[in-house]
Amino acid sequence: MERIASFTVDHNRLCPGLYYSRRDGDIVTFDLRFKKPNTGDLLTNAEMHSTEHLIATLLRNSAHKEAVIYFGPMGCQTGFYFLFDNRLLSCEEAINLLREVFTQAANYTGEMPGKSPAECGNYINLDVETGRAVCRFYADLIADWTVEKLSYEAAQK
Task: Let me know if residue 157 belongs to a domain.
Answer: no
Segments forming the whole domain that contains residue 78: 5-151
Task: Let me know if residue 14 belongs to a domain.
Answer: yes
Task: Let me know if residue 37 belongs to a domain.
Answer: yes
Task: Let me know if residue 53 belongs to a domain.
Answer: yes
Task: Let me know if residue 60 belongs to a domain.
Answer: yes
Side-chain-side CA neighbours of residue 91 (13 Å): 17
* 28 beta partners: 23, 84
Task: Let me know if residue 156 belongs to a domain.
Answer: no
81-134 per-position pLDDT tens digit: 999 999 999 999 999 999 999 999 999 999 999 999 999 999 999 999 999 999
Burial of 49 (0-12, 13-18, 19+ CB in 10 A): buried
Residue 94 φ then ψ, to 5°: -65, -40
20-65 per-position pLDDT tens digit: 999 999 999 999 999 999 999 999 999 999 999 999 999 999 999 9
Per-residue confidence (pLDDT) for residue 10, from 0 to 100: 87
Count of domains for the chain: 1
List, as one string, the DSSP characters of 49-82: HHHHHHHHHHHHTSTTGGGEEEEEE-TTSSEEEE
Confidence of residue 4 (pLDDT cuts 50, 70, 90): confident
List, as one string, the DSSP characters of the chain: -PPPGGGGS-TTS--SEEEEEEEETTEEEEEEE-S-TTSS----HHHHHHHHHHHHHHHHTSTTGGGEEEEEE-TTSSEEEEEEETTTS-HHHHHHHHHHHHHHHHT--SPPTT-STTT-TTGGG--HHHHHHHHHHHHHHTTT--GGGGSHHHHT-
Supply the CATH number for residue 147's domain: 3.30.1360.80
